[in-house]
C-alpha cells in the first residue's frame, strides 16, 4: 500500500465486516466512522480528522474498532488520535453557533404551565399553585424537599412568576441558603446588618432554595430565625426547598426545625416512566426534534434520576441531528445516554470546597483556618477541616498538614484524634460534621 489513505480504506473494509457480523451498527459505521478522513500514520499513531468537536467526541467511542482494524491491516498496534480539521473550523463555528441558538430557543419559562405533573410531584405542584393563588393563607410555610434535579427550583420560580403576573408590585425575595449565608457574613464584616435585615424582613414573599445550607451555622440560623418569625407574624408567605425533610437536617436548630414543620411539607421523588416520557416529548417538541417512540422509551428506561439528565440527552440528540441531518437513531440515543451517565458523576471533592464549607459553619475565614491563630473557633474549625480532608481525600497526613498552613503530620494526627473523640462523646459534634460532609458531597 502506497499511502495512509489506502490503509484507511482497508481498515474501513475490515470494520464493515464487523457490521455484517452484527458487532457494530450500520448507522454508526456510516454516520461516524466513514466520516473520518485519514491524515497520516506517524510511528504507532494514526491521525484521523473530523469536522467538529462534537463529531470528535462521538467518534472517540469507536476507537477500539479502529484499533482492531488497523492491527489487522498493518500487523501492529496503533494509537488513535482524532483531530478537528483546521479548514473546517469556520464552518464548524457557524454550525455550532446555529445549534447554540436552537438550544437556547428551546428553553422554557419556569411556570406552572411548563411543569410536567406526575405522581412523583403532583402534591408539591398543587401546594405551590395554592400558595401562588392564596399566599399567606394556604400553607405557611410550605416546605418542599427532594433530590437535586427534580423540579424544586422550577416550582419556586413558578410561584414567583405567577404572583408577579397577577400583582407586579409584590415584593418577592428569592434567595438560596448559600447566598443568604454569604450576604450575612458580608454584612457582619462591614459591621452593617441593617440593609441585610431590611431586604429580607420587608419581603411580601420569601422564597429560599436549598435552605439546608444554613444548618450548622449559628449566626445564619439566628438571623434566619428572626426573619422567619417577623414575616410569619405579618402573614407573609414563606416557601422553602431542601434536599431532605426538616427532621433529617441534623444540625438545624430545634426552634427552626419546629417552625419549618408548622405549615405543609411536600416531597418530590424521581419521576415515573410516564412522566419521564412526557418530559422527553416536551423537550423534543421545543427543539422541533422528531424522536421515534422506541428512542423515547429507551431514554426514559435508562435515565431515571432527574429531569436534567432527560433534557440533556434530548439536547445531545438534537446536536447529532444538526450534524448529520437525519433523525436520531437508537445507537445515537445509547451513545448520548452513556455520555450523560458519565458526565453525571459527582465532581471530585476539592480541598478548597472542604475548607470553605468548614469556615462557613464555624464563622471563620479559610485564611484563618490556614493561619497560626489559635482562638477557640479557629482551632476547632482547623481540626474539623483536617478530619474531613483526611476522610474525603487520598491525601497523606503530611499533605493534609501542608494544606492547613504547613502543620506537621503529628499535629494533624492530634487534630483527627481530637475530632474522633468528640464525635464519640458528643452527638451534636457528630451531626455537625456529617452535615458538612453532606453539603460538600452535594457540591
Spell out the domain ranges in the chain. Answer: 4-88, 122-267, 273-343, 351-442
H or E element at residue 81:
strand 79-84
Give the pLDDT confidence score for residue 329 in this predicted structure.
Answer: 84
Cα 224–Cα 225–Cα 226 angle in degrees, nearest 5: 90
**pLDDT bucket at 45, cuts 50 / 70 / 90:** very high
C-alpha cell at 328: 436520531
CATH architecture entry for 122-267: 3-Layer(aba) Sandwich (3.40)
Asked whether the predicted pLDDT for residue 384 surpasses 90, the reply is yes
Side by side, the strands of the sheet bearing 237-242 are 172-176, 205-209, 237-242, 142-145, 264-267
Q: Which of 247, 274, 243, 250 shows the shortest CA–CA distance to 258?
A: 247
Strand segments, DSSP code E, in 116-269 are 142-145, 172-176, 205-209, 237-242, 264-267
Q: Which CATH number fits domain 351-442: 1.10.1750.10, 3.40.190.10, 3.20.20.80, 1.10.10.10?
A: 1.10.1750.10
Each residue of 172-212: pLDDT tens digit?
A: 999 999 899 889 888 888 888 899 999 999 999 999 999 98
State yes or no: pLDDT of 151 exceeds 80. Answer: yes
- Please give the mean pLDDT across all residues of the chain: 86
Q: Is the pTM of this model over 0.75?
A: no
- Is the predicted pLDDT of residue 95 greater than 80, yes or no? no
Enter the C-alpha cell of residue 47.
Answer: 491521525
What are the cell numbers at 129? 399553585
Q: Report the C-alpha gap between 79 and 326 in whole angstroms.
A: 31
Mean pLDDT over 140-163 rounds to 92
- Residues 223-254: tens digit of each pLDDT: 999 999 999 999 999 999 998 899 888 778 89
pLDDT of residue 341: 81
Relative to beta strand 45-50, strand 79-84 is parallel
**What CATH number should be reported for the domain whose range is 4-88?**
3.30.300.180
* Rounded CA separation 415/380 (Å): 9
Residue 92 pLDDT level (bands cut at 50, 70, 90): very low
pLDDT at 54: 74
Q: What is the pLDDT of residues 55-75, one digit of tens each?
A: 788 888 899 999 999 999 988
The predicted pLDDT at position 245 comes to 92
Is the pLDDT at 91 greater than 60? The verdict is: no
pLDDT surpasses 80 at 137:
no
Q: Residue 202 has what pLDDT? A: 93
Quickly state the pLDDT bin for 345 (edges 50, 70, 90): low
Most confident among 336-340, 379-383, 395-399 (mean pLDDT): 379-383
Band the pLDDT of 155: cuts 50, 70, 90. very high
- Give mean pLDDT, residues 131-144: 87
Of the candidate ranges 71-85, 118-132, 330-344, the one whose mean pLDDT is the lowest: 330-344
pLDDT of residue 148: 85
Please give the CATH topology (third level) of the domain spanning 273-343.
Answer: Helicase, Ruva Protein; domain 3 (1.10.8)
Q: What is the pLDDT of residue 288?
A: 85
Mean pLDDT of the 110-138 span: 89
Is 389's pLDDT higher than 80? yes
Percent of the chain with pLDDT over 70: 92
Confidence of residue 100 (pLDDT cuts 50, 70, 90): low
The confidence score (pLDDT) of residue 276 equals: 92
Q: What is the pLDDT of residues 402-442, one digit of tens each?
A: 899 889 989 999 999 999 999 998 888 888 888 888 878 76
Neighbours of 76 (CB within 10 A): 8
Q: At residue 94, does pLDDT exceed 60?
A: no
Report the relative pairing of strands 205-209 and 237-242 from DSSP bridges: parallel
Residue 98: predicted pLDDT? 58
Q: Report residue 292 CA to chain centroid gap.
A: 28
pLDDT in tens, 314-330: 988 888 777 666 788 88
Amino acid at each position: 500500500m502506497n499511502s495512509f489513505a489506502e490503509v484507511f480504506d482497508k481498515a474501513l473494509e475490515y470494520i464493515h465486516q464487523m457490521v455484517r457480523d452484527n458487532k457494530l451498527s450500520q448507522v454508526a459505521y456510516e454516520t461516524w466512522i466513514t466520516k473520518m478522513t485519514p491524515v497520516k500514520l506517524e510511528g504507532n499513531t494514526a491521525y484521523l480528522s473530523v469536522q467538529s468537536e462534537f463529531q470528535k467526541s462521538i467518534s472517540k467511542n469507536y476507537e477500539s474498532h479502529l484499533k482492531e482494524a488497523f492491527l489487522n491491516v498493518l500487523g501492529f498496534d496503533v494509537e488513535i488520535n482524532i483531530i478537528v480539521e483546521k479548514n473546517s473550523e469556520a464552518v464548524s463555528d457557524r454550525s455550532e453557533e446555529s445549534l447554540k441558538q436552537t438550544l437556547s430557543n428551546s428553553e422554557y419559562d419556569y411556570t406552572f404551565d411548563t411543569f410536567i405533573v406526575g405522581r412523583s410531584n403532583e402534591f408539591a405542584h398543587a401546594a405551590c399553585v395554592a400558595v401562588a393563588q392564596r399566599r399567606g393563607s394556604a400553607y405557611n410555610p410550605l416546605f418542599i424537599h427532594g433530590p437535586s434535579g427534580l423540579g424544586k427550583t422550577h416550582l419556586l420560580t413558578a410561584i414567583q412568576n405567577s404572583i408577579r403576573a397577577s400583582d407586579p408590585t409584590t415584593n418577592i425575595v428569592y434567595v438560596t441558603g448559600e447566598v443568604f449565608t454569604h450576604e450575612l457574613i458580608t454584612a457582619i464584616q462591614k459591621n452593617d446588618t441593617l440593609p441585610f435585615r431590611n431586604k429580607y424582613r420587608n419581603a411580601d414573599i420569601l422564597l429560599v432554595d436549598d435552605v439546608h445550607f444554613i444548618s450548622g451555622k449559628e449566626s445564619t440560623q439566628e438571623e434566619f430565625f428572626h426573619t422567619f418569625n417577623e414575616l410569619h407574624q405579618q402573614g407573609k408567605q414563606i416557601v422553602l426547598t431542601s434536599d431532605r425533610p426538616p427532621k433529617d437536617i441534623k444540625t438545624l436548630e430545634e426552634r427552626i426545625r419546629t417552625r419549618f414543620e408548622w405549615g405543609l411539607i411536600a416531597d418530590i421523588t424521581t419521576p415515573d416512566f410516564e412522566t419521564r416520557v412526557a418530559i422527553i416529548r416536551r423537550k423534543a417538541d421545543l427543539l422541533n426534534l422528531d424522536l421515534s417512540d422506541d428512542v423515547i422509551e429507551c431514554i426514559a428506561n435508562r435515565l431515571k434520576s432527574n429531569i436534567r439528565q432527560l433534557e440533556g440527552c434530548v439536547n445531545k440528540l438534537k446536536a447529532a441531528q444538526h450534524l448529520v441531518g437525519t433523525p436520531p437513531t437508537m445507537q445515537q440515543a445509547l451513545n448520548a445516554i452513556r455520555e450523560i451517565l458519565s458526565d453525571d458523576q459527582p465532581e471530585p471533592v476539592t480541598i478548597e470546597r472542604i475548607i470553605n464549607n468548614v469556615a462557613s459553619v464555624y464563622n471563620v475565614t479559610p485564611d484563618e483556618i490556614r493561619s497560626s491563630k489559635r482562638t477557640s473557633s479557629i482551632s476547632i474549625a482547623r481540626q474539623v477541616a483536617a478530619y474531613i480532608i483526611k476522610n474525603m481525600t487520598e491525601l497523606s497526613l503530611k499533605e493534609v498538614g501542608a494544606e492547613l498552613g504547613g502543620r506537621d503530620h503529628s499535629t494533624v494526627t492530634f487534630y483527627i484524634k481530637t475530632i474522633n473523640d468528640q464525635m464519640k462523646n458528643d452527638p451534636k459534634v457528630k451531626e455537625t460534621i456529617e452535615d458538612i460532609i453532606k453539603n460538600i458531597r452535594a457540591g
